[in-house]
């Protein structure tokens, strides 16, 4: 799954509260996440979005955060414990070639793939795994940074997501990013 993974120490920079000035997690997640949901967050880093996801799913929901880097997950766990949200977050260390989501098949309501798909070595496989874990009608907010991903590459990734079973439902405006809201297509009976 990892082609060029962001170094673990950059996680501290990405979790910096100043980032909220241009990418506010509460505003970005507001239309998509609510109490009781089961949320998947691949590549959470040290939890810039994870903590807000955990607040939104409440005591009856769950956030499954998967990462290939133990130090990123360590930072996430420390921040979650300090915020009193650790019990809502299942932080999992995964292999570079698979997120190991078989226990979540058809259970995910929402996935946040924020600035991480371009780091995978196999975006098609990534989207297939997410689609298998997602409930019919479940949503995926797919965001890539304009500084790392050009329009053509984002289009290729979007096509792979659609081949995996998603359809484009919207194109929200997220500063400095390409973005799309995708919905898992219900299988034909």
Quick: pLDDT tens for 133-166: 999 999 999 999 998 899 999 999 999 999 999 9
Average pLDDT over residues 86-113: 96
Is residue 57 classed as helix, strand or coil in its secondary structure?
Answer: helix
- CATH number of residue 156's parent domain: 3.40.50.150
How high is the pLDDT of residue 106?
97
Residue 10 pLDDT more than 90? no
| E strand intervals along 68-153 | 89-93, 108-114, 134-145
- Is residue 121 domain-resident? yes
Distance between CA atoms of residues 53 and 66, nearest Å: 14
> How confident is residue 29, by pLDDT bands cut at 50, 70 and 90?
very high
- Is residue 89 domain-resident? yes
> How confident is residue 187, by pLDDT bands cut at 50, 70 and 90?
low
> How confident is residue 1, by pLDDT bands cut at 50, 70 and 90?
very low
Label residue 58 exposed, middle or buried (CB < 10 Å: 0-12, 13-18, 19+).
Answer: middle
Residue 2 pLDDT more than 70? no
- Is residue 3 domain-resident? no
Mean pLDDT computed over every residue of the chain: 90
Q: What is the count of structural domains for the chain? A: 1
Average pLDDT over residues 52-72: 96
Other beta carbons within 10 angstroms of residue 148's beta carbon come to 12
- Is residue 4 domain-resident? no
Name the pTM for this structure: 0.89
Please calculate the CA angle 138-139-145 and round it to the nearest 5 degrees.
Answer: 160
Distance between CA atoms of residues 124 and 116, nearest Å: 13
Domain extent, residue 129, equals 10-184
Is residue 169 classed as helix, strand or coil in its secondary structure?
Answer: strand
- Is residue 2 domain-resident? no
């Amino acid at each position: 799954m990892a082609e060029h993974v962001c170094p673990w120490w950059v996680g501290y920079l990405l979790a910096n509260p100043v980032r909220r000035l241009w990418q506010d997690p509460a505003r970005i997640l507001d239309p998509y996440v609510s109490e009781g949901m089961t949320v998947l967050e691949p590549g959470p880093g040290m939890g810039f979005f994870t903590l807000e996801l955990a607040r939104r799913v409440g005591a009856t929901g769950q956030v499954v955060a998967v990462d290939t880097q133990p130090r990123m997950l360590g930072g996430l766990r420390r921040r979650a414990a300090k915020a009193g949200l650790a019990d809502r977050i299942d932080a999992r260390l995964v292999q570079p070639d698979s997120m190991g989501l078989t226990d979540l098949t058809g259970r995910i309501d929402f996935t946040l793939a924020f600035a991480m798909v371009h780091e995978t070595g196999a975006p098609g496989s990534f989207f297939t795994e997410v689609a298998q874990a997602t409930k019919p009608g479940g949503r995926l907010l797919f965001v890539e940074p304009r500084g790392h991903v050009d329009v053509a590459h984002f289009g290729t990734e979007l096509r792979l997501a659609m081949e995996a079973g998603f359809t484009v439902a919207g194109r929200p405006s997220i500063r400095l990013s390409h973005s799309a809201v995708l919905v898992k297509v219900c299988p034909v009976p």
